Structure 1
């Protein structure tokens, strides 16, 4: 391999990474409309030409930033999985891990793209598969960690509701950072989840026959 080419490739990868990190920050702070290639280049401290070499259009940059966020969220999820304790408190720890997956700067940035995609069918078509992939990864991690039997009525829906709850808490946290309230909700939902997970395989959601 050309010895001079390798440093150039490393510089190119470093510039791309700086642009993606900057794009996430700009999306979170200024929204999708403000995340132009020029604005992101300025935030990253690189020339507009260098930014356009990697990402010719704003859409290219936004989608690459979303993939970058999802990859980063996936890494955080894998670290969270490794840290979940055994025994008492495990369910609450899993719920907290899921809630944490929908928080922070990455979540705020992704939310801006979701909002933009709601009125842009082309963008929505490209973003939806990426978000669905992440949803599947979080759902599968939760199922595995909880040892959940999704053949039992209500279990799959309750695990999925955990993800929906996490997204809702993430939205609420954009306006007010209320850690104690979130902790109480996580604790209560863990109790609800435990009661559903304790159902025997032959359980049913139908009400008992009192006739």
Structure 2
């Protein structure tokens, strides 16, 4: 009988774990590290605090897992957002890649990641996980941007220009935390896309 019920039980456990991770990310994005407690996450996920602690015995366990979840979601969002660029060429492709990259850095996943960065500066249990995962996400983002832009990094200045694009996108994401920066961001994106296309095409 146990073998019959094991599958559904495991499915429910995975669903509960996923709900807790999604709730943890949402709480970080809305309330920051200091305002995100296990109780608040459990309530948002629709489970008891005991159920939350069954999956994640400590607050650090929960948010360290949330770090990995955010990294996975950001990578998946990046692949999905940049997929259409494969069918474009020239300035249209450059503009789409720049726009989508900036969009990822101004969305809720980046906001949650930023709160994790801030927390990791003061919370030793989080620091190693955040540092390692951010490095991984950064490398993947750079590789994908290079591939989709058709950038030849053997040419002088191309690698630095692509990295500058990612730094610029991250900076726009930071600016967006305090105010709605949409209008200015649109102008910056258009200008940067033109500059980047000139560098890429030589």
Name the TM-score, length of structure 2 as normaliser.
Answer: 0.93
**Counterpart check, 1:97 vs 2:104:** no
1:37–1:48: 8 Å Cα contact kept in structure 2? yes
Equivalent of 1:146, from 149, 161, 166?
Answer: 149
Query: Size of the alignment, in residue pairs?
Result: 199
> Residue deviations 1:104-153, cap 9 Å, x none?
22111111111111233442222101001111111111100111111111
**Counterpart check, 1:160 vs 2:173:** no
> Residue deviations 1:144-197, cap 9 Å, x none?
011111111111111001111111111111122232321111110011111221
**Counterpart check, 1:24 vs 2:25:** yes
Map 1:30-109 → 2, pairs under 5 A: 30-84=31-85, 85-87=87-89, 88-109=91-112
* Aligned position for 1:197: 200
Matches of 1:45 and 1:97, distance apart in 2: 33
Give 5+ residue unaligned stretches, structure 2: none
RMSD: 1.5
1:35–1:58: 8 Å Cα contact kept in structure 2? no
Give 5+ residue unaligned stretches, structure 1: 200-211
Query: Secondary structure of the equivalent of 1:3?
Result: helix
Larger radius of gyration: 1
